[in-house]
Amino acid sequence: MSSERPLDGLRVIELADEQAEWAGKLLADMGADVIKVEPPAGTNTRCIGPFVDDIPDPERSLHFWHYNTSKRSVTLDLSTRQGRALWLELAAGADVVIETAVPGSLDAIGVGYDALSLANPALVMTSVTPWGPDGPYANFATGDLIQMAMSGIINSCGYDDHDIPPVRPGANHSFHIASHHAVIGTLVALHARDSIGRGQHVDVAVHDCASVCVEFAATHWFYTQRFVERQTGRHAHPQFTARSTFLARDGHYANMSQTRDERVWAAIVRWAHEAGLGELFDQFGDATDRFARGSEVLAAYEALVAEMDSEEIWHRGQQLGMTWGAVRQPEDWLDDPHATDRGFFQVIEHEGVAGPLKYPGPPYAFTAHPGRLARAPRLGEHNAEVYSALGYTPAELTTFREIGAI
Amino acid sequence: MLPLQDVRVLDFGWAMAGPQCTRLLADFGADVIKIESAERPDLGRVSFGPHPFGQDAFGFDSSGYFNNFNRNKKSLNLNMQCPEASGVFRDLLAVSDVVVENYSAGVLARWGWTYETMKAVKPDIIYVSMAGPGHRGPYRDYRTFGPTVQALSGLTYLSGFPGERPAGWGFSYMDHTGGYLAAIAVLMALYQRKQRGYGEYVDLSQIEGAITLTGTAILDYQVNGRPSAPQGNHSNHPAAAPHGIYRCLDEYGGRDRWVAIACYTDDQWEAFVATVGSPAWTSDARFSSLLSRRDSQDDLDRLVEEWTRPQLAHDVMRRLQKAGVPAGVVQNHKDLTERDEQLAHRGMFPEVIHPKLGEFPMDGQPINLSETPGGIRRHGPLWGEHTEGILRDLLGYEPARIEALTAAGALR
């Protein structure tokens, strides 16, 4: 393996909140030099918990740590003339700017795409906005819950009992979805830069991206004007389908499905005999009989799974070639032999704040030139090195600090 | 000009994760050649519907789902299990940049193709595999589909109300996201190849991809010893209250209707209070600060729902948004395609003609490039539509050679 990384040499300036910090992180972990531009008080995501020892502090946010690995941080106040000048200088020396400013707000102070591309025609600028730069909802207030609702995603998530509200899956997935599209748009524009000889503006709206991340709900409507119905722990579908998650002996859930494969069925019956539930399963005949008596089979599954551990269902099912799984918690992977064998987690030191911590590595294993994570930056940690590389002296930096520019 | 028009992709994608990856590449002009065989037809053609005119109305060209996820691509019939197919694949590799597949581990290898054998033909080839567990490690032979990946990674666990069964995701979110991540990997590897000249083998594991999305919970567990837990529709990070999904007046045919409301700041709460008409309960001490509201959320949720319940969801959204309160209808696809004024403004559901199915809307391409825009140029390919053209025009095969391949069963 080489110490070179895929995006070595790529310079990115990021002025982003939770909508696109994930995009900057994905680029930074793969070698891009991502300079995170923060207001002097810090990006607001430093205030999102959980915090180390539950002590709220901009340098203790685990949310910020996860979403900002491998970046450098500079501070800069865009409401000051000197701050705007520094922003323009940073963008002039960059390949990419990723930003989530309120639509029009950068242009209003003369530092939006028009100004930046004039100074640096090769610049790719990717703007991530909640709803798009203009249009009837452009000024709507946002948030992950609102985006997930408006996209149609939440309409598919929840329980068989429709008196229970539909559910927003945990974590800020609308921002993950938008960030993935922001990275793709950025890299496509960089690819095109070599052909057309200039950069361009990439417009990504969270609402657009999430609204085409709904799988079957879209095509059932497009082609047959049918709604999908949310169902507990499985796909939303125009009809109600058979339950596929069952509570196991260890208190966790496991996935298990009906099968027409007699070899698999025979194995399930063997497990049932081992668990003392043979009689319950011996009553069923061939696949035709089993599918005709679907609810009885599911009741039998329920009894069987209750006598087994969720991980056992998963591994034994897989040995039969079935796509069964266990409903794990994310932290279950920390000491998992598969993750360990693949070197998935990477350890990052947090001197003086926390012990060494395992972070999930990049979501794609480049086998010859893998990504490498580094600790998220402290606020303004790289002011001196970044601004002195622009040619400013320590005395000038002191002045910038005194006038509140950085 | 299309931004990826100089990139050719050999696409073994099937079902959804692979097709989602190459849909993104094809939308921006990559020449995506979908390699398909009747021995192993794409589930998207045969079992994933809807098939608006019946499952077999037009053979393998009956699925609207397939059309949606495979627009802009070409279809080449090549039976990789047939020995004669190997030479064709070798010739294709020699003129291609990228190979993408989302089979379980070992399928391509059984046909004789690994990164090493591909590299021997095309030294700078980029190969991205995207099996659930990846191609290395003790679980490498395990088979997954979206719900398995979501269950194993923890995404399913994190979706639901505390104390209830996991609600999980009502669709294969990780097929979408696996596709996004694979497209990112392809583009990063192309960037690397341009700068340094070498290719790459990317062993993408969809399970790992999903775990990365739960990183904050993994850190919280290590640092604070706090196990991950589903939050229902509440939000501790960032703290917000109310933060929930509330029942509204049922519409069309008694369907349940819901609106999402979130107040992250005191300003938003005050705007909410003013919009609901400042009833007495809003000045209750339990609701005086963000943290006290958060700690009394179940009570607050009931009171908020008393206000939403007799109203139409769209009216609640408009009233609250007008006051600056984050609110949004839990939209279904009728809402998305017929009532969402912003998506209409953005042109997110273009209508595309398919020669057999007819004209239907599709998912638009949400990434807007100012100079070299992508988009939908063409319907999903008909079964084997481009087989002869590719062999003849791209590979320069003579008719006799194509006939021999056909006779050997390599082109079906």
Q: Is the pLDDT of residue B253 over 80?
A: no
Q: A307 vs chain B: nearest CA distance in angstroms?
A: 18
Q: Is the pLDDT of residue B252 over 80?
A: no
Domain boundaries, chain A: 11-213+342-402, 242-325
CA separation (Å) from A91 to A13, A17, A116, A205, A396? 7, 18, 6, 22, 20
B31 and B172 in a single domain? The answer is yes
Tokens of A361: 């590595």
Q: Is the pLDDT of residue B198 over 90?
A: yes
Answer whether B375 touches A (CB < 8 Å). no
B179 and B258 in a single domain? The answer is no
B208 and B254 in a single domain? The answer is no
Q: B384 vs chain A: nearest CA distance in angstroms?
A: 23
Answer whether B3 touches A (CB < 8 Å). yes
Considering CB atoms only, which of B68, B181, B333 is closest to A180?
A: B181
Tokens of A196: 């057309």
Considering CB atoms only, which of B165, B200, B370 is closest to A366?
A: B200
The residue out of B302, B330, B358 marking a domain boundary is: B330
Residue at B343 is within a domain: no
Contact A6, B189 (CB under 8 A): yes
Residue at B232 is within a domain: no
Q: What average pLDDT does chain A have?
A: 97
Cα separation, A74 vs A387, in Å, equals 8
B394 and B272 in a single domain? The answer is no
The continuous run of DSSP H or E covering B21 comes out as helix B17-27
Q: Is the peptide bond before A50 cis (omega within 30 degrees of 0)?
A: yes
Q: Is the pLDDT of residue B255 over 90?
A: no
Q: What is the mean pLDDT of residues A286-311?
A: 96
pTM of the model: 0.98
Q: Hey, do A11-213+342-402 and A242-325 end up sharing a CATH topology, with the first three levels equal? A: no
Give residue B370's pLDDT: 98
Q: What is the mean pLDDT of residues A265-275?
A: 96
- Within 8 A of B205 by CB-CB distance, chain A residues are 342, 344, 365
Torsion of CA A226, A230, A236, A241, to 10 degrees: -100
- Within 8 A of B240 by CB-CB distance, chain A residues are 143, 145
Alpha carbon B277 to chain centroid, angstroms: 41
Cα separation, B410 vs B188, in Å, equals 34
Q: Flag the least confident range among A122-126, B102-106, B253-257, B290-294.
A: B253-257
The continuous run of DSSP H or E covering B218 comes out as helix B215-224
In the block, residue with structure tokens 């294709």? B92
Q: What is the mean pLDDT of residues B166-194?
A: 98
Contact B5, B166 (CB under 8 A): no
Measured between CA atoms, the residue of chain A closest to residue B327 is A146
Is the Cβ pair A209, B366 closer than 8 Å? yes
Q: Is the pLDDT of residue A350 over 90?
A: yes
Q: What is the DSSP string of A97-129?
A: EEE-PPTTHHHHTT-SHHHHHHH-TT-EEEEEE
Is the Cβ pair A234, B340 closer than 8 Å? no
Catalytic, B340? Answer no
Domain with B60, as residue range(s), is 8-212+348-407
B361 and B325 in a single domain? The answer is no
Give residue A308's pLDDT: 97
Is the Cβ pair A334, B222 closer than 8 Å? yes
Give residue B138's pLDDT: 98
Burial class (CB in 10 A: 0-12, 13-18, 19+), A35: buried
Among residues B175, B203, B220, B267, which one is catalytic? B175
- Within 8 A of A30 by CB-CB distance, chain B residues are 188
**Secondary-structure class of domain A11-213+342-402 per CATH:** alpha beta
Q: Is the pLDDT of residue B35 over 70?
A: yes
Cα diameter, chain A: 86
The continuous run of DSSP H or E covering B12 comes out as strand B8-12
Q: Is the pLDDT of residue A113 over 90?
A: yes
Contact B171, B192 (CB under 8 A): no
Give residue A31's pLDDT: 98
User: How many domains, in total, are found in chain B?
Assistant: 2
Q: Is the pLDDT of residue B49 over 90?
A: no
B317 and B379 in a single domain? The answer is no
CB proximity under 8 Å: B 130-189 to A? 133-134, 136-139, 141-145, 147-149, 151-161, 164-173, 175-177, 180-185, 187-189
Is the Cβ pair B326, A329 closer than 8 Å? no
- Within 8 A of A227 by CB-CB distance, chain B residues are 255, 332-334
Q: What is the pLDDT of residues A62-83, one digit of tens each?
A: 999 999 999 999 999 999 999 9
Residue at B93 is within a domain: yes
Assign 3-state DSSP to chain A and report helix, strand, coil percentages, each to 5.
40, 15, 45
Residue at B50 is within a domain: yes
Alpha carbon B335 to chain centroid, angstroms: 20
Torsion of CA A358, A360, A364, A365, to 10 degrees: 20
Split at pLDDT 50, 70, 90, the class of B158 is very high
Contact B50, A219 (CB under 8 A): yes
Is the Cβ pair B208, A339 closer than 8 Å? yes
Cα separation, A328 vs A253, in Å, equals 8
B25 and B84 in a single domain? The answer is yes
Give residue A95's pLDDT: 98
Specify the amino acid at residue A40.
Answer: P
Torsion of CA B303, B304, B309, B312, to 10 degrees: 160
The residue out of B330, B357, B383 marking a domain boundary is: B330
Cα separation, A368 vs B231, in Å, equals 39
B315 and B370 in a single domain? The answer is no
B77 and B188 in a single domain? The answer is yes
B326 and B353 in a single domain? The answer is no
Residue at B324 is within a domain: yes
Cα separation, B403 vs B411, in Å, equals 10
Residue at B322 is within a domain: yes
Q: What is the CA angle B324-B325-B331, rounded to 5?
A: 115
Cα diameter, chain B: 86
Split at pLDDT 50, 70, 90, the class of A216 is very high
Is the Cβ pair B368, A202 closer than 8 Å? yes
Split at pLDDT 50, 70, 90, the class of A1 is low
Measured between CA atoms, the residue of chain A closest to residue B225 is A53
Cα separation, B266 vs B106, in Å, equals 56
Considering CB atoms only, which of A153, A170, A218 is closest to B231?
A: A170
CA separation (Å) from A300 to A51, A265, A269? 45, 12, 10
- Residue to mutate among B130, B368, B376, B379, with most A CBs inside 10 A, is B368
Cα separation, B73 vs A117, in Å, equals 33
Split at pLDDT 50, 70, 90, the class of B324 is very high
Q: Which of A19, A98, A66 is nearest to A375 (CA)?
A: A66
Share of chain B above pLDDT 90, in %: 97
Q: B77 vs chain A: nearest CA distance in angstroms?
A: 25
Q: B67 vs chain A: nearest CA distance in angstroms?
A: 9
The residue out of B295, B330, B365 marking a domain boundary is: B330
Q: Is the pLDDT of residue B323 over 80?
A: yes
Measured between CA atoms, the residue of chain B closest to residue A318 is B142
Burial B66-102 (b: 16+ CB within 10 A, else e): bbbbbbbbbbbbbbbebebbbebbbbbbeebbbbbbb
Split at pLDDT 50, 70, 90, the class of A3 is confident
Give residue B254's pLDDT: 78
- Residue to mutate among A8, A98, A150, A245, with most B CBs inside 10 A, is A150
The CATH number given to whatever domain includes residue B294 is 3.30.1540.10
Residue at B342 is within a domain: no
Q: Number of CB pairs < 8 Å for A and B?
A: 504
Q: What is the pLDDT of residues A166-189, one digit of tens each?
A: 999 999 999 999 999 999 999 999
CATH topology of domain A242-325: formyl-coa transferase, domain 3 (3.30.1540)
Give residue A107's pLDDT: 97
Contact A111, A117 (CB under 8 A): no
Residue at B228 is within a domain: no
Q: Which of B199, B185, B5, B196 is nearest to A187 (CA)?
A: B185
